[in-house]
Chains A and B, each alone.
Chain A
Amino acid sequence: MTPASERPLTAMIDPAAGPPDCAAYGRAGGWQATRLALGSLAPAEIIDMVTRSKLRGRGGAGFGTGQKWSFVPKEPASERRKYLIANADEMEPGTFKDRWLLEGNPLQLVEGMILAAYGVQAGHGIVFLRGEYQEACARLHRAIGEARQQGWLGENILGSGFSFDIHIHSSAGRYICGEETALLTALEGRRATPRSKPPFPQTGGLWGAPSVVNNVETLCNLPHIIANGPEWFTGLGLGDDGGTKIYGVSGRVTKPGAWELPIGTPLRQIIEDHAGGMRPGYQLRALLPGGASTAFIDATALDVAMDYGSVEKAGSRLGTGMAIILDDRTCPIGMIRNLEHFFAQESCGWCTPCRDGLPWVERLLDAIEDGTGRDEDMDQLDRHARMLGAPGRTFCAHAPGAMAPLASGLKLFAADFAAHIQQGRCPHQAGAGAGAGP
């Protein structure tokens, strides 16, 4: 096991003991960064440290965090209404990392939010939490209440003149709310359709005010970057990126789970050493490296380092860093059909190509999987993958994300598609494949 100092995000997480309270959090090294920042660092210095740490967004898009913050107007929080929002909507299928951080150590998120808010001088904090995360909600409520009582939140924190408080918004289940502009629309009590940019949230976000939206894992890194310095943080990564990353594996592996590892850890090591390799009787066929909206890579690419640049070179995206494994006894077309059902259902319906295109894709896949597919269907799928997959053809990144597993799957599993159409049935259904149980 990696020593605790090299696993900053999860070092304090102990499921048996439950999340630390304010005092225990402080004893284990928490609040140092807040004391340092509010006591002796200027907001611009915080942004500079985070930029130098090379921290990139852990919500999927991988945008540089310091750079993202640099677009926020610089007035002090007391002079202008600004928002700092934690994106805890985590609905990307196959992803369960933010829940671990939220339930395991909610005060770490609170402290990360204080630091981010101080950096961009936002007085208002919101946790946008997915509705199903009831346990996380309860623990976060307790953590925020206690932090407020102890003076870590509220007016004039530590006598610094900086005031900041956090409010929890418990959502009601829609994947698109995780997209940052749709999230803002949802917070305004409207149907959560994405917004056009510009204005970017940093200048015109919630209720028109400058707003920063960051993923939970991104924010949880901040106390460690500020307390230990950006050089320490960059040193944790194995390649070009800084820090650790929470990686996860689900599917038919021996020990599905999530682990905090140096960013850039090879995929093979994650699957074989941490997830224990495949279950007896199953072979790894391909996988989605970072959640449902990333492209398949096959078993020959397992040596890829799990950092932003390397996974992109391998033809996919790091995404959320949570891999979903396709084994040799599960039908790849069945899996893609399941994914496209999700994306079609979760389309917000705002723009026509996505609203009408995704259900069309789903129906084509239904037909092929059920044995009534025709050769022409492949052309239709290919056309959709190209048209919806290109950025800019749809209003937001939902449709391109939906096409990533389809476009890659059409290439990787061409023989399986052909077999379904030729045989008029799913070749896997005869055996113990396709969702037939562990």
Chain B
Amino acid sequence: MWTAEYPLPAPMRAEILALAAQELHPRGASVAALRLVQARFGWVSTVHLREVADLLGISADDLDGVATYFNLLFRRPVGRHVIMLCDSVSCWIMGREPLCAHLCGKLDIRPGETTADNAITLLPTVCIGHCDHAPAMLIDDTLHGDVTTASLDQLIDTLRNTP
């Protein structure tokens, strides 16, 4: 079993090297490589960060500068599902604050935290380009619009029951 504590699986190392080979300079693959790692492990651990840096031929600090720069790259573990509730202006006007409060109450966490059963992490996100269906959110990769407390409750219940 591969976890964040262990070196990257060999096929993934090969994939990262292939990404690097497509670029004029290997470091051009930094974000793509980190996203690849995260897609598999849910986040980017320091062990993995060091290994990716090594494969790209840059220092781990340099790569960590990139990893910590981007909103969608996680340097800490997250739950099995990630809810990203838009906190930008159109969603704010359309009532994302009360929705967020409802969600925090239901999950018993604050934004940025993960539920005790490790099922759900709640994060704010900037505008996700769904402002005509505000309030909007992403659950993992899926976009949801015109969210209400009722539709939210239903989505959370289904989510809790999916691995």
Contacts and interface: CB of A to CB of B under 8 A. Distances in A.
Interface of A: 90-96, 98-99, 130-135, 167, 169-175, 186-192, 207, 248-252, 256-258, 288, 292, 322, 324-327, 330, 334-335, 338-339, 341-342, 345-346, 434-438
B34 interface: yes
Interface stretch (B5-13, B68-76, B106-114): B68-76
B126 A91 contact: yes
B126 A252 contact: no
A322 B132 CA distance: 10
Contacts of B70: 131, 171-174
Nearest to A208: B24
A427 B22 CA distance: 57
B27 A190 contact: yes
B66 A342 contact: no
B48 interface: no
B72 A172 contact: yes
B88 A292 contact: yes
Nearest to A137: B141
Contact of B131 (A167, A250, A334, A338): A250
Contacts of A346: 126
A189 B69 contact: no
Nearest to B65: A191
Given A90-B129, A95-B129, A96-B130, A252 B72 contact: no
Given A131-B72, A346-B126, A435-B96, A258 B89 contact: no
A248 B132 contact: yes
A324 B127 contact: no
B29 to A, nearest CB: 7
A173 B127 CA distance: 10
B152 to A, nearest CB: 12
A258 B132 contact: yes
Interface string B11-38: 0000000000011110111111011000
Given A135-B143, A252-B94, A342-B89, A186 B31 contact: yes
B93 interface: yes
Contact of A435 (B32, B65, B95, B129): B95
Interface in B91-146: 92-99, 125-134, 138, 141, 143
